[in-house]
Structure 1
Amino acid sequence: MVPDLSRVPGVLGRIARRRLQLVEAAVPQPSPPLAGRPPSFAEALAAPGLSVIAEVKRKSPSEGAIADLDAAEVARAYARAGARAVSVLTEPEFFAGSDADLQAVRAAVALPVLRKDFVVHPLQLAEAHALGASAVLLIVAVLGPLTGAYLDAARRAGLDALVEVHDEREAELALEAGAEILGVNNRDLTTLRVDLTTAPRVARHLRTLGFAGLLVAESGYRSREELASLEGRFDAVLIGSSLARDPDPGAALRRLLGST
């Protein structure tokens, strides 16, 4: 059940194909048993108001180096500042993430943790569960017609899934797959350009089609005013670079939430 990655264009295709090489070459490592069931990602996003998913992020293909950070320390700062979930990048080459970062965050905070990675093989779902993740990212542009199969496999593994789309066509595929948490990414992952009109436009289309699940706006948010524009239309927003690059990520989040 491996997607056809030859059809995935641009930077996204390059990252996804390299990720598959690494996953297939890796020797599975036993993980210690988890202490209790991870908290629910879906329940955190469904809480009243706009939930913030704050991201632990060291670098990216679009911005290069962002921050040399301690994952657990940053996650604790996010939790104190009011984040309702933490996203942890575990892709090692393009984002300088690691599974160890996810384990450190899981041990540091009681919030649900999203494993932010490029899922291209079913083994990654079992890994995410073993690492203590509450949820995984499933990218429709990568998985294509296999999105539904991966969504079912994630549920069987005890994971919520944030199903990511970039346009109306992908949104319709996600609905057909049975997605219950839909993220609309403002960043075009083939060109890396950001357009903040993307998430509202695709969200309107989804609601018109009858989607009643949770909606997450992703990428490019830097100000309190931008977040205010999402309230009432989205259940959550995922914020990465603008928080992680701040010398005090917790203070940066409090400013965005208007709590300072």
Structure 2
Amino acid sequence: MPGVLGRIVQERAGDYAAASPELGPARPAARRFEAALSGPGLALIAEVKRASPSQGAIAPLDPATAARAYETGGAAAISVLTEPRHFDGNLQALHDVIGAVGLPVLRKDFVVHPAMLREAAEWGASAALLMVSVLGEATGAYLEMAHHLGLDALVEVHDEAELDVALKAEARIIGVNNRDLTTLNIDLAVSPRLIRLARQRGFAGVLVAESGYRTPDQIAEIRPLADAVLVGSSLAGSGDLGTAARQLMTP
């Protein structure tokens, strides 16, 4: 796996190399994250994001304070980065956000081991990110693990081949990432194209546009197509998270 994505995946695999793969007992499916994205209009998943490989340090956010601001600004759900080296995230941030807001919370990380899903469930997350670019044909197995733990899963794709994998795995929530994680380049045409293709192929679940959204005009282009949009860097670096979230999503 090339580029930044390959390096992060190798690091996370090393972090969890000694972890137990045991999931523990099955948990009931609450589907809070899915429900939050399924209402009328375009839902916002606002991200607590302190840094990224493409931008470096973004803002020294306090996770709980940031999440409360996003909730006030109208977010339907909160995404929390827990990858430590490149995104300045950690599990404590996840815990703090879950304790601070009443919204469903997504653990966003590079899931490469069942223990990462078990952690998400134990810490109270409603959902976890599963990246087809990372998991490949194992996506279906990890989706089953997430559902065993009562978690929703945001199954992320970037191209048509990855979309095929997500559809075959019977994902309920598919996210389309405009960012190529090997080059870090963004193409806002990716989400509209793959979202249309998913619908053409009969996908009736939730579709999320991800990465690169900074203006209401960009949101307007995706609004008729997607059920939700995930926004991180532009909100996190805004200085006024609640106001930025509200203004970004105003039609």
Q: Which amino acid aligns with 2:250?
A: G
In the alignment, structure 2 segments of 5+ residues that lack a partner are 22-28
2:175 corresponds to 1:202: no
The equivalent residue for 2:232 is: 240
CA RMSD, 1 decimal: 1.6
Q: Which amino acid aligns with 2:216?
A: R
- Quick one: which of 120, 128, 149 aligns to 2:141? 149
Percent identity over the alignment? 59
Deviations 1:158-207 (A, max 9, x none): 00000000001100111001111000000000000000000001111111
- Quick one: which of 139, 142, 155 aligns to 2:131? 139
The equivalent residue for 1:23 is: 16
Q: Which amino acid aligns with 1:22?
A: D
User: Structure 1 residue 57: deviation in Å?
Assistant: 0.3
- Quick one: which of 69, 78, 82 aligns to 1:86? 78
2:108 corresponds to 1:116: yes
In the alignment, structure 1 segments of 5+ residues that lack a partner are 1-7, 29-36
Deviations 1:95-140 (A, max 9, x none): 0001000000000000000000000001111100011100000000
- Quick one: which of 13, 18, 30 aligns to 2:6? 13
The equivalent residue for 1:5 is: none
| Distance in 1 of aligned mates of 2:2 and 2:137 | 16
- Quick one: which of 58, 64, 85 aligns to 1:72? 64
The alignment's TM-score, normalised by the length of structure 1, stands at: 0.91
- Equivalent residues of 1:215, 1:236 under 8 A apart: yes
2:94 corresponds to 1:102: yes
| Distance in 2 of aligned mates of 1:182 and 1:257 | 21
Q: Decide which moves more: 178-187 or 246-255.
A: 246-255
- Equivalent residues of 2:208, 2:230 under 8 A apart: yes
Deviations 1:17-54 (A, max 9, x none): 101111225699xxxxxxxx977000000011000000
Equivalent positions of 1:162-173 (< 5 A) are 162-173=154-165
